[in-house]
Amino acid sequence: MTELLQKVRVIDPVSEIDELFDVLIADGYIREVASHISDITSDTQIRDCQGLVLGPGLVDLYSHSGEPGFEERETLLSFLQSAAAGGFTRVSILPDTSPVIDNPALVAQLQQKRAEGQRGRGAEKSLSPLLHIWGAITLDVAGKQLTELADLAAAGVVGFTDGKPLENLALVRRVLEYLQPLGKPVAFWPSDRQLAANGVMREGANALRFGLPPIPASAETTAIAAMLELVATIGTPVHIMRVSTSRSVELIASAKAAGLPITASTTWMHLLLDTKAIKSYHTSLHLDPPLGNPSDVAALRAGVRAGVIDAIAIDHTPYSYEEKVQAFAEAPAGAIGLELALPLLWQYLVETEEFTALELWQALSTRPAECLGQKVSAILPHQPAELTLFDPQQTWKVERKSLYTLSQNTPWLGQQLKGHVVQTWC
């Protein structure tokens, strides 16, 4: 199949281009990129793309799949469909399924499941994103016994993380030593659970106003400081997940300036909302780490623009309606986001001119890929067509029938959004 996208706005963070072009795509490859393309075959499908944006496919560093174990929240197929609908061509699932992804057999089973889903979709085969799987670091709930890290690496995991805090620093040190020769990314979520205690909201005036148990910023920053000391000692590269405070951004900036081999990410919701939003007590605003104070949001946005925070992660966390219909403090933490992130980030960061389109796309595509030790191709002839076509002006309503995900735990449910992904090429 050959397609000609006419007068599309090409946003390419690899080549640092933001210009109007005609783009010819055939047989899964970009064939031509030019100001005007007229030499086409009679069977070429021509699409007028004035007002549309074409960029490299988005890359999600970490999200949750319900399957295996929690298929009522999300199946692997619905997860991949949701990702493609949101413009993502590569996604990475965390290992906290049931059973936990802690052995090569389960990695192979999930990859086989994804392959079977592709074959079963016929003509939609090209819409299935590339699936990456994080391997678990520890075997048991207590987090004291390591998995067979080398076996998981050989099975093809993208890297290692538990997706939950590891507070045993002696174990973290051992992990960094063991993983050094494997050359796989390792990601940690630094959080001191004793300092966090039973808190559900960032400490500050709004926590007092809303009467919710607070979590001090130091629950994150002390854990990050300890992690940075270990990285400085061992030298193994580390990715720091779910950064949510202004002080954390300062610590990471100083560590990078000192030459420590670290990367970092925050989540899309931590860039958009602060503690004022929790006035609604909507349980989909109960996140872990919690939404920051306004000063945290400002620091995170500046950190992403400056590259101190390398990537924006989605951390898509589906829960059933029954699980979320509880008091705010009792509901499980997390919200969906694969189909919502690009439209909302574009609307509130790009259209307000706080971010350039290139800065946002870089944080959602090329830099997440780099955190995984991968590259994203430029939008140039002879490169694979791993692309996202986005309409910043198309409006749509967030409701059950408009979402591919099986869960609806989002504070934007029932609202009209502006911006919608038109097509992905994987």
Classify residue 41: in a domain, yes or no: no
What one-letter code names the amino acid at 181? P
pLDDT tens by residue, 348-379: 999 999 999 999 999 999 999 999 999 999 99
The alpha-helical segments, DSSP class H, found in 258-314 are 268-272, 294-306
262 forms beta bridges with: 238
42, part of any domain: no
Q: For position 143, what pLDDT does the model report?
A: 66
Taking 50 as the threshold, does the pLDDT of residue 56 lie above it? Answer: yes
The tally of domains found in the chain comes to 1
Q: Is-contact 132 90, C-beta < 8 A?
A: yes
* H-run or E-run covering 344: helix 341-345
pLDDT digits (tens, 9 = 90+) for 188-241: 999 999 999 999 999 999 999 999 999 999 999 999 999 999 999 999 999 999
Examine residue 9 and state whether it is found in any structural domain, yes or no: no
What number of H helices and E strands is found in the chain?
A: 14, 17
Which residues are catalytically annotated?
315
pLDDT in tens, 139-196: 865 567 999 999 999 999 999 999 999 989 999 999 999 999 999 999 999 999 999 9
50: in domain: no
Q: Is the pLDDT of residue 126 over 60?
A: no
Alpha helices of 134-282 — where are they, by DSSP H? 149-155, 169-179, 193-196, 205-210, 218-234, 246-257, 268-272
238: domain CATH number is: 3.20.20.140
pTM of the model: 0.96
Separation of alpha carbons 426 and 89, rounded Å? 5
By residue range, what is the domain housing residue 110? Answer: 56-379+393-416
- Give domain status of residue 47, yes or no: no
* Distance (Å, whole) CA 387 – CA 174: 40
Mean pLDDT in residue range 128-144: 86
The tokens of 184 are what? 């796989």
Angle at 161 between CA 155 and CA 163, to 5 degrees: 130
Q: Within a domain: residue 231?
A: yes
pLDDT digits (tens, 9 = 90+) for 71-120: 999 999 999 999 999 999 999 999 999 999 999 999 999 999 888 876 55
| CA neighbor of 143 nearest in space, from 126, 160, 167 | 167
User: Mind listing the pLDDT tens digit for each residue in 311-320?
Assistant: 999 999 999 9
Q: What is the pLDDT of residue 42?
A: 87
Structural domain contains residue 385: no
Residue 33: inside a domain: no
- Cα-flanking dihedrals φ and ψ of residue 113, to 5°? -60, -40
Helix crossing, 246-257 with 218-234: angle to 10°? 10
